[in-house]
Structure 1
């Protein structure tokens, strides 16, 4: 894998993991029973802990990227190994 492929894979995996991690541990004003002041959405999080979530996202992404990299370099994960994605390989079988 080239460095460009690794960077692109990291970016894609990072964003997917971020959107999966964002809802964890969210406590809203409504959940806490706090009446929000004017201009604040009752469903907005009290303490979003974005720093912790960004660190967790990066760690999870590095683990998943490592698995993806090993699968690519060792030949376990190729287009031809996924049925239906490579029409030329599918027709030969």
Structure 2
């Protein structure tokens, strides 16, 4: 597999990981006990830290990319393993 393919797979895993990790560890102003600014949405985060989300996404993306590349190299799970209802009878 070419390094550009590995990079593209990593970027895809990173973006998906970042979106999955966004809601974890975030509190609203009510949950944190902080006074809201007039006109602020009730769901606005009080302690959003994009750097922490990016760091977690970097780690998770690297782990998922490594597992994907190892599966590609060693063939632990192949497409035939994903047929759950048996072969077609046509």
Interval containing the TM-score (normalised by the shorter chain): 0.7 to 0.9
**Aligned-partner Cα distance in 2 for 1:37–1:67:** 45
Unaligned runs of 5+ in 1: 85-89
Q: TM-score, normalised by structure 2?
A: 0.77
Listed as ranges, the matches of 1:1-93 within 5 Å are 1-83=1-83
* Greater relative contact order, per chain length (Cα 8 Å cut-off, separation 6+): 2
**Aligned-partner Cα distance in 2 for 1:51–1:61:** 15
Unaligned runs of 5+ in 2: none
Large movers: runs of 4+ above 6 Å = none
1:35–1:42 Cα contact (<8 Å) kept: no
Task: Count residues with an aligned counterpart.
Answer: 86
CA RMSD between the two structures: 1.9
